[in-house]
Amino acid sequence: MNKLIKLVMALIVSLSIVSLPTGKAQAAGFPDVTSFKKEIDYLTEQKVISGFKDGTFRPSVKLTRAQAVVMIMRAIGMPETPVENPGFLDVSTTTFGYKEIAYAVSLGIINGKSPEQFDPAGNITRAEMATILVNAFEMGGLFPPGFKDVSTKSWAYPYISSLAANNITVGYDDQTFRPKNPIDRAQFSAFLARILNPEFQPSSPLVKDSLVDMTAEANIVDVVKNPDKPIIYFIDALSNSLVMLNLETYEEQFVDLKYPAEKLIIKNGKIFVTQLLQGRSSYNFIDMQKGLINVYDANDLTLLKEVNVNIDPYDIAVDDSETLIISSGSGQHTEVQTYNWKTSEELSSAFINDRKLIELSPTINKVYSVDTHHYTGKIESYTLLDGKITKDVMEPRFFGNELRGYIQFTPDGKYIFNGNGTIYTSSSQKSSDLSPLGQLATPFSTITFDLAGNGMFLADRSNEIIAYDYELLEPVYSMETYGKIDHLFYVEETGELYAFTKLKMNNSAIEYTALERIYLGE
């Protein structure tokens, strides 16, 4: 934000210097201005731009490429040392804006019309202006709705898309951007005012409360965040790979997996990934089952061990001593087992139905399970002691509301939530005391927490995120994403909320997986 403020202040100065008219600024407005009147009046009052001596603004006057580059380059600062001549035949050392053009080209902010021609006196197009603004202000993001006249294969597509994603432009009413049209003083004023003051950004149902940082053809089935770094790990079922993504640099690292994977968990700097060695079936009884758990170093995804297990792994948990707790996905009446991953030794087993999700309590001594393939209204608990698991004897509980196949502890261990919104206490060690405390206002299929900010965020396979006050467990506001939300995760290190979503870009028939960064706030 500080960098942006510096850029904005420098831009104000540069516009005062470069502005073509020399007339006095008129706070009362210009008689020839109808479109973008508020934006132009704002910039005039701020002495960013001024009108002509006859009292007009001449909003339709076009900007040249050299003038536009000078404005932007003076905003981001010029080097003290000489810049290498860019080699354009129509740009000499005496050409207006020579140094700025040379610097902008050296930074890749703008290119010439050809290797020999820059066309400094030519009108700058809307596409070129989008490129300069996005490059200079380091804007990112993509605009999923797109524009009818901007193909995803166009050189200008990523820049125009980023400009729209940041709500600097929404194009024309016919859903076109008209990239080849020259930009005039009024349009440039609108773009500039929206950068300087977000209050001028247009209100459009097409612009959501998020920024699409990246898209890919992928099917993300599970994701976890590194507890100490702004890094996430996820399984892409489409490529059957484990991916590590740095959310600061957007660097990715991939590991191909031999067998289909469904679940992963991080513990003590290690990533544990389930591997299916056989087809899942209700008739694969316990003596027929087998599976594999891959263990990776969380720093570089080095494979540490392949752990053969006597079970079809469905879900996994890991305690502080790195004991593996694995539920079975086959066999109907089957087992949950524990393992020492370093020796591959099976430590214990207990009865469980197949395809149950398991959740390890923050106190590390309780494991809770819930069905995923039908609603039973029942959560079962197990005791974990020294790596050994035993099923608790508890009264059958049908809590009135049908439970979903999703349970989640809060990071502080205070509550356990079911996906239908039911709240349970986890403070008692007696499993028979597991009873509902209340009901959230909304069900959910994914949830994440910002306990330092007293917040939690829920979504339920839609475009809507509900933000809750964690202390009161009440909804406070909602946010909308471009795609339907599969996974939410909050990054404490940067204070940002992210979502993996499914969406279609530019009305494409292909559904992509997108990483959306959410704008927090009411």
User: Over the stretch 432-467, which tens digit does the pLDDT of each residue have?
Assistant: 456 678 899 999 999 999 999 999 999 999 999 999
Q: How far apart are CA 310 and CA 333, in angstroms?
A: 15
Q: Give pLDDT tens digits for 338-365.
A: 999 999 999 999 999 999 999 998 888 8
Residue range 38-75, pLDDT digits in tens:
988 987 887 667 778 899 988 998 988 998 888 777 66
pLDDT at 30 > cutoff 80: yes
Domain boundary among 410, 439, 468: 439
Percentage of the residues of the chain whose pLDDT score is greater than 70? 89
For residues 110 and 277, give the distance between their C-alpha atoms in angstroms, rounded to a whole number. 53
pLDDT digits (tens, 9 = 90+) for 148-199: 999 989 999 999 999 999 999 989 999 999 999 999 988 888 887 888 788 9
Same domain, 199 and 85: yes
pLDDT digits (tens, 9 = 90+) for 114-159: 999 999 999 999 999 999 889 888 899 999 999 999 998 999 999 9
Interhelix angle 37-45/185-196, nearest 10 degrees:
70
Among 337, 340, 367, CA closest to 350: 337
The reported pLDDT for the residue numbered 376 is 59
pLDDT (0 to 100) of residue 489: 96
What's the confidence (pLDDT) of residue 394?
63
pLDDT digits (tens, 9 = 90+) for 236-294: 999 999 999 999 999 999 999 999 999 999 999 999 999 999 998 989 899 899 999 99
State the Cα angle at 78 between 140 and 66, rounded to 5°.
75
374: pLDDT strictly greater than 90 = no
Residues 188 and 268 in one domain: no
Q: Residues for the chain: how many in total?
A: 522
435 and 476 within one domain: no
* Higher per-residue confidence, 14 vs 251: 251
Which of 297-306, 395-404, 406-415 has the lowest average pLDDT?
A: 395-404
| Co-location of 36 and 109 in the same domain | yes
pLDDT of residue 158: 94
Query: The domain that contains 290 carries what CATH number?
Result: 2.130.10.10
pTM score: 0.85
Q: Distance (Å, rounded) from C-alpha 318 to C-alpha 43?
A: 58
Query: 18 falls in which pLDDT band (50, 70, 90)?
Result: very low
Is residue 391 a contact partner of residue 351, using CB atoms and an 8 Å limit?
Answer: yes
pLDDT digits (tens, 9 = 90+) for 198-228: 899 988 889 999 999 999 999 999 999 999 9
Look at residue 370 in the predicted model and tell me its pLDDT.
86
**Same domain, residue pair 349 and 218:** no
Choosing from 398, 414, 439, the residue where a domain stops is: 439
Residue 181 shares a structural domain with residue 213: no
Q: Is 245 in the same domain as 340?
A: no
**Same-domain pairing of 20 and 168:** yes
Same-domain check for residues 64 and 23: yes
pLDDT of residue 431: 45
Contacts of 435 (CB under 8 A, 6+ apart): 397, 399, 424, 425
Among 439, 473, 491, give the residue marking a domain's end. Answer: 439
Give 253 or 108, the one with higher predicted confidence: 253
pLDDT for the residue numbered 69: 86
Print the domain residue range for 13.
2-207
As a whole-number percent, the residues of the chain with pLDDT over 90 amount to: 63
Q: Residue 44: what pLDDT?
A: 81
Where would I find the H helices in 59-205?
A: 65-76, 98-107, 126-136, 157-165, 185-196
Residues 247 and 290 in one domain: no
What is the rounded average pLDDT of the residues 472-483? 96
pLDDT value for 413: 86
Same domain for 292 and 201?
no
Domain count, the chain: 3
Nearest to 393 by CA among 335, 434, 339, 437: 434
pLDDT score of 175: 92
Does residue 94 register a pLDDT over 90?
A: yes
User: Which pLDDT belongs to residue 488?
Assistant: 97
* 54, 157: one domain: yes
Least confident piece of the model among 27-31, 102-106, 211-215, 328-332: 27-31
